[in-house]
Amino acid sequence: MKRFKVISCVAILFLGAACGGDSAPNQTTQTTIVLGYSIKPFSDLKEAKLAGTDLSATFLVGADLTGADLTGADLSNAELIFTSLIDANLINANLTGTNLSFTDGRNANFTGAIMVGANLVGADLRGAKLALANLTNAQMTRVNLVAVYLTNAFLTGANLISANLANTELVSADLVGAYLINADLTLSDARDANMHNANLTGANLRGADLRGADLTGANLTNADLTGANITDTDLTGADLTGTKMP
């Protein structure tokens, strides 16, 4: 209960009001009714049936969407900071430009979701499904992606600095130009992944499966590839300064 109050206070500050002070601006507290559900900050939307709905630019800060069905929903440019999306279904949802920072999305299904330019800083997505998701230019600093399915996902230019991708499925993922500085990719499966020109400075790739991966032009300065499988991995033009090779 204490943790929820702290998070609520932080989220309220984000909306422009201090805890115990004046109310937040009208545009952030206005309630919208969609299919009988109240769409507003901190709303209880557990297991809500909102598939295909237009929730673009809505303020759902701190809302509980645990187990909600948001299949094909339009959540573009919505504010979902500190929101719970645990076990939620967001298959093919539109999350372009959406603020998902510090969201709890454990075991959520984002398969095929459009998340171009989304903000996922500090989010917890452990066990989530993101296969075929488009995360081009997404901000994912310090995101927790442990054991996440990112097969065939598009992460071109994504900011994954200090992200945790241990045991993550990255088979055939597109990570061209992605920023993976100090990222943890321990035991990740990145077979046939395209990491052309990716910045993996200081990254931990111990035990990673990189068979057939494209690391041409990648920056692997001080990266650790101890125990990694680099069979048929293309390292042409890669910067291997200080890199610990298998």
15 contacts 41 by C-beta, under 8 angstroms: yes
Q: How confident is the model at residue 149, as a pLDDT?
A: 98
Distance (Å, whole) CA 20 – CA 33: 26
Q: What are the strands, taking DSSP E only, across 12-91? A: 32-34, 37-39
**Residue among 58, 54, 47, 179 nearest 121 (CA):** 179
| Side-chain half-sphere CA neighbours of 167 within 13 A | 7
Mean of the per-residue pLDDT values of the chain: 91
Token digits for 180?
A: 């993976």
Q: How confident is the model at residue 185, as a pLDDT?
A: 98
Distance (Å, whole) CA 18 – CA 14: 9
Q: Tell me the one-letter amino acid at 100.
A: L
Distance (Å, whole) CA 195 – CA 180: 10
State phi, psi for 2 to the nearest 5 degrees.
-65, -40
pLDDT digits (tens, 9 = 90+) for 6-46: 454 455 445 544 343 433 334 455 789 999 999 999 999 99
Please state the separation of Cα 149 from the chain's center in Å: 11
pLDDT digits (tens, 9 = 90+) for 167-214: 999 999 999 999 999 999 999 999 999 999 999 999 999 999 999 999
Does residue 3 carry a pLDDT above 50? no
**Residue among 89, 87, 92, 93 nearest 106 (CA):** 87
Q: How confident is the model at residue 4, as a pLDDT?
A: 42
Q: How confident is the model at residue 131, as a pLDDT?
A: 98
Matching residue, tokens 């597109």: 174
